Structure 1
Amino acid sequence: MRTGNRVFGILGLAVAALAVPQVDTAQAETLRVAVNTSDVANLDPHRATATADKGLVGWMFNALVRFPPGSSNPAEIEPDLAESWSVSDDGLVWTFKLREGVRFHGDWGELSAEDVVYSLKRAADPERSSFAGTYDGFEEITAVDPRTVRVELSYPVPGFLGLVANYHGGNIVSKAAADSLGADFNSKPIGTGPFALTERVTQQHVRLDAHGGYFRGTPKIETIMYRFIPSDSSRELAFTSGELDIIYGKREQRWVETTRRNDEAEVDIFLPGEFRTVHLNRSVKPLDDIKVRKAIAHAIKIDDIVAYVGADVGPKGCSVVPTGYLGEDCSWGYEYDLEKAKALLAQAGHPDGFEITSVVSSNASQLPIMEVIQSQLAAVGIKMNMNVVDHPTYHQQIRQDASAITFYGAARFPMADSYLTQFYHSAATVGTPTAITNFSHCDVADAEIEAARQTADEAERMKLWAQAQQKIHDAVCSVPLFSLLQVWLRDDGLDYGYALKGSMNLAPPITEATTISR
Structure 2
Amino acid sequence: MSKEFRTTGGRGITRRGFGAGALGTGLLLGAPAIAQGKRDLRVGTWGGEFGNLSPVIRSDIQGSLVMYNVFDGLVTINFKDRSIMPNMALEWTNPDPLTWRIKVREGVKWQKGFGEFTAEDVEYTYNFHISSKSFQMGTSLFPIASVKADGKYVVEVKTKMPFGAFPGITMGYGGTIISAKAHKEMGNDAYSATPVGNGPFQIESKKGTEIVLARHPEYWRPGFPKLDRVVYRAIPDSTTRLQALQKGELDFVTHPDPKDMKALRKDSRYTVKSTPGWAWDYQQFNLKSGKPDAPFHNKLVRQAISYAIDREAIVNEIYYGEAIATDNQIPAGYMGHRQPMLKYPKNGDLKKAKELMAQAGVKGYEVEVITSDKDWLRKELELVAAMVSQIGITYKIKNMDMGGFNSLWLNKKFDQHLEDITLVAPDPDATSWWFLHGQGNASGYNVPAMDAMLDGARSELDPAKREALYHKIVDRTLEECPIIYHCNTNNIQIYNSKIQGFEPAPQEYTEKLDTVFWS
- Measured against the shorter chain, the TM-score band is 0.7 to 0.9
Partner of 1:479: 484
* Correspondence list, 1:165-204, <5 A: 165=171, 167-180=172-185, 181-202=187-208, 204=209
**CA–CA distance in structure 2, aligned partners of residues 179 and 321 of structure 1:** 40
3-state SS of 1:224 partner: strand
Does residue 500 of structure 2 align to residue 509 of structure 1? Answer: no
5+ long unaligned stretches in structure 2 = 1-23
**CA–CA distance in structure 1, aligned partners of residues 99 and 257 of structure 2:** 42
- CA distance 1:420–1:125, change in 2 (3 Å): farther
2:412 to 401, 423, 428: 401
Query: Cα deviations across residues 303-342 of structure 1 (Å, max 9, x unaligned)?
Result: 2212324575201224233343222355832243223322
Query: Cα deviations across residues 237-262 of structure 1 (Å, max 9, x unaligned)?
Result: 1111111110113252x321121121
Does residue 387 of structure 2 align to residue 376 of structure 1? Answer: yes
2:323 to 292, 314, 327: 314
Structure 1 residue 484 displacement after superposition: 0.8
3-state SS of 2:330 partner: coil
- CA distance 1:170–1:312, change in 2 (3 Å): farther
**CA–CA distance in structure 2, aligned partners of residues 99 and 136 of structure 1:** 25
- CA distance 1:176–1:424, change in 2 (3 Å): same
Structure 1 residue 30 displacement after superposition: 1.7
Does residue 488 of structure 2 align to residue 493 of structure 1? Answer: no
* Correspondence list, 1:276-287, <5 A: 276-282=281-287, 283-284=290-291, 285-287=294-296
Partner of 2:435: 423
3-state SS of 2:91 partner: strand
- CA distance 1:299–1:242, change in 2 (3 Å): same
Partner of 1:87: 94
8 Å Cα contact 1:158/1:417 also seen in 2: no
Does residue 155 of structure 2 align to residue 144 of structure 1? Answer: no
Structure 1 residue 49 displacement after superposition: 4.4
Q: Percent identity?
A: 23
| TM-score after normalising by structure 2 | 0.87
Query: Cα deviations across residues 48-75 of structure 1 (Å, max 9, x unaligned)?
Result: 442212211110111222125xx36432
**CA–CA distance in structure 2, aligned partners of residues 194 and 359 of structure 1:** 37
- CA distance 1:207–1:446, change in 2 (3 Å): same
1:388 to 376, 383, 399: 399
**CA–CA distance in structure 2, aligned partners of residues 385 and 199 of structure 1:** 40
**CA–CA distance in structure 2, aligned partners of residues 375 and 263 of structure 1:** 38
Does residue 279 of structure 2 align to residue 274 of structure 1? Answer: yes
Structure 1 residue 366 displacement after superposition: 0.4
Does residue 352 of structure 2 align to residue 337 of structure 1? Answer: no
Partner of 1:346: 358
**CA–CA distance in structure 1, aligned partners of residues 368 and 150 of structure 2:** 53
Structure 1 residue 206 displacement after superposition: 1.0
**CA–CA distance in structure 1, aligned partners of residues 432 and 157 of structure 2:** 23
Partner of 2:15: none
Q: Which moved more, 1:131-140 or 1:47-56?
A: 131-140
3-state SS of 2:214 partner: strand
In the alignment, residue 401 of structure 1 is paired with which amino acid?
K
In the alignment, residue 386 of structure 2 is paired with which amino acid?
S
- CA distance 1:279–1:399, change in 2 (3 Å): same
Partner of 2:125: 119
Query: Cα deviations across residues 261-287 of structure 1 (Å, max 9, x unaligned)?
Result: 210110111243321111122233121
8 Å Cα contact 2:29/2:249 also seen in 1: no
- CA distance 1:442–1:395, change in 2 (3 Å): farther
8 Å Cα contact 1:105/1:191 also seen in 2: yes
Partner of 2:264: 259
8 Å Cα contact 1:45/1:168 also seen in 2: no
8 Å Cα contact 1:39/1:392 also seen in 2: no
8 Å Cα contact 1:399/1:437 also seen in 2: yes
Partner of 1:11: none
- CA distance 1:314–1:116, change in 2 (3 Å): same
**Number of equivalences:** 486
In the alignment, residue 485 of structure 1 is paired with which amino acid?
N
In the alignment, residue 274 of structure 2 is paired with which amino acid?
I
2:471 to 457, 466, 469: 466
Does residue 336 of structure 2 align to residue 327 of structure 1? Answer: yes
Partner of 2:164: 158
8 Å Cα contact 1:129/1:169 also seen in 2: no
**CA–CA distance in structure 1, aligned partners of residues 467 and 490 of structure 2:** 25
- CA distance 1:338–1:505, change in 2 (3 Å): closer
**CA–CA distance in structure 2, aligned partners of residues 255 and 439 of structure 1:** 37
- CA distance 1:503–1:510, change in 2 (3 Å): farther
8 Å Cα contact 1:442/1:472 also seen in 2: no
**CA–CA distance in structure 2, aligned partners of residues 398 and 211 of structure 1:** 36
Query: Cα deviations across residues 181-235 of structure 1 (Å, max 9, x unaligned)?
Result: 1233210212200111122112x20111111111113523111111011122221
Does residue 241 of structure 2 align to residue 235 of structure 1? Answer: yes
**CA–CA distance in structure 1, aligned partners of residues 392 and 273 of structure 2:** 41
In the alignment, residue 96 of structure 1 is paired with which amino acid?
I
Query: Cα deviations across residues 402-440 of structure 1 (Å, max 9, x unaligned)?
Result: 332211211221221112121111112xxxxxxx22255
Partner of 2:36: 27
In the alignment, residue 426 of structure 1 is paired with which amino acid?
G
1:357 to 363, 368, 376: 368
- CA distance 1:357–1:481, change in 2 (3 Å): same
8 Å Cα contact 1:251/1:486 also seen in 2: no
8 Å Cα contact 1:103/1:213 also seen in 2: yes
8 Å Cα contact 1:358/1:405 also seen in 2: yes
Structure 1 residue 37 displacement after superposition: 0.9
8 Å Cα contact 2:327/2:344 also seen in 1: no
Q: Which moved more, 1:472-481 or 1:90-99?
A: 90-99
Structure 1 residue 503 displacement after superposition: 5.0
